[in-house]
Amino acid sequence: MPVKRIGGLWPMAAVGLAALLLWPLLTLLVNLPAAREALAQGGCASLYACASTLNSPILPAPQQFLDGAAQMLNPLWGKSSLLYNALYTGWETLFGLLLALVVAFFTGTLLAFSKPFERATLPWIVASQNVPIIALAPVLVVLLGRFGVQGMLPKALISGYIAFFALTVGVARGLASLDPLRLDLMRSYCASPWFVYWHVRLPVALPLIMTNLKVAAAGALVGAIVAELSTVTFAGLGAMLLARYYAGDIVGLWVVMAASGVLGIALYALLSLLERVVTPWSPKH
């Protein structure tokens, strides 16, 4: 790994280390009222011991969190496993991103080359993003269920719906960002519009599209989890969140939320690797 890239990891590592060091203090401060009550009843030796052993802590102590994570990872693979459900949600997110990217390429291309299409559709595309996804998810699932579409696809569609706008904007802006001098050069060569699109416009647009894809991945992951929360499903992080909520397992809720964050980082890293593969000419590399 280049020295420059290794040096860029130090700020992130410093923030993570600071968070770990502050975790016990935050546990004590957040759980202080309940800890004082437990200490007064003589259930523990010290205030921190009380705060870190509560059955329903607002913020679990590091050891409680690690114990909860170990429990949810055992067995490592299975429908009740945290790893299995995280990967299930990850596949939903990637599937949704793929669907959104296909539609965004078509829509973004039309937006970049057709002003009438842009004036007619862009306001509606913007307005579509203001629809509450928690209300849209059950409606979409019921509608697709009437046509026999079940399983992962409805939730992937909802995930892609969240990612669609950012990707469409990225495609449209990227295709329209071609240097006029390059375009004039292609015209002087009598290059066809398709040749210019595939060999000139698209390579110029790809770095911006990949950047927007990484941004859209975060929204797509949230969309997938919300879709799992809003529909009848038996797999995924959303289903685990709902099960832990009904069981009153606060530690489990924190573990699942942390797993969602780790999954988001993994998706970002995967897309960053893909970006390096498909845009090796980008100056960011």
Indicate the residue type of 172.
Answer: A
What structural domains and CATH numbers belong to the chain? 23-59 (no CATH), 82-278 (1.10.3720.10)
Query: Which pTM was predicted?
Result: 0.82
Token digits for 262? 């780790």
Residue 86 phi, psi (nearest 5): -65, -45
pLDDT score recorded for residue 179: 75
* C-beta separation of 168 from 107 below 8 A: yes
pLDDT score recorded for residue 7: 52
Token digits for 234? 């038996």
pLDDT score recorded for residue 3: 47
pLDDT score recorded for residue 51: 82
Determine the longest span between alpha carbons in the chain, in angstroms.
87
* C-beta separation of 262 from 89 below 8 A: no
- The closest of 240, 242, 238 to 226, measured between CA atoms, is 238
Blockwise average pLDDT, block size 10, the chain, 285 residues: 55 80 86 82 79 84 87 81 90 91 90 85 82 76 73 83 87 82 73 78 85 89 84 80 86 90 90 86 66
pLDDT score recorded for residue 1: 46
